[in-house]
Amino acid sequence: MSDPQWELSLAVQSAEETHALAAALGSVLEAGDLVILTGELGAGKTTFTQGLGEGLGVRSGIISPTFVLVRIHPSLPDGPRPGGPDLVHVDAYRLESAAEIDDIDLENTMDSTVTVVEWGRGRVEHLSDSLLDVELHRPLGGAALPGTSTPDGADGADGVLDFDTDDDDEPRTIVIRGFGPRWAEQPLLPAALKGSP
């Protein structure tokens, strides 16, 4: 994929702030949007997706789809965005290639939903000419997974993973990059998102 149109680096202090930031972003997402989430175990990818779901106004109860690969969360008719897009939540951790992504047939829902793919970098970019790449970093614990980078640009290929996922209230850095024509300009994001350091 080419260079991003823009990049935004935000600091959050807790899981609650991660959730709120994602809810603000979710409020500007539209049907057809693709969001790729990257970060080591415990970085907050599922918390971030829960926030996106709140901002989109989909049914609550978002959990990691690790064992089923794909979960669909329908838009609530009495939610903040009635008639808005459903959320398709994918965990691509166990998928090894773009061909395996194609086998789960996301193309059939892409145009009418917001699709969020955990561990999707290098696997799902072919699904859309525009996407948001969201990278979550924990300052404590092990290095990032291979194919990810830390805020200082170091590759995480040689580090030891930190499997302690209970440190939800650690500070985190969230880097959002916009790619393609849909994200040609940084969107007019709600104050909750833009106001982060």
pLDDT tens digits along 14-25: 999 999 999 999
Write down the pLDDT at residue 103. 85
Tell me the average pLDDT of the chain.
81
pLDDT tens digits along 130-186: 999 999 998 765 444 444 444 444 444 333 333 344 456 789 999 999 999 999 988
Write down the pLDDT at residue 54. 95
What are the Cα distances from residue 117, in Å, to 29, 48, 93?
Answer: 15, 12, 9
Rounded CA-CA distance 152/12 in Å is 17
* Domain 6-194 in this protein, CATH class: alpha beta
Q: Residue ranges per domain, the chain?
A: 6-194
Side by side, the strands of the sheet bearing 86-91 are: 6-12, 172-179, 131-137, 34-38, 113-118, 86-91, 70-73
This model's pTM is above 0.85: no
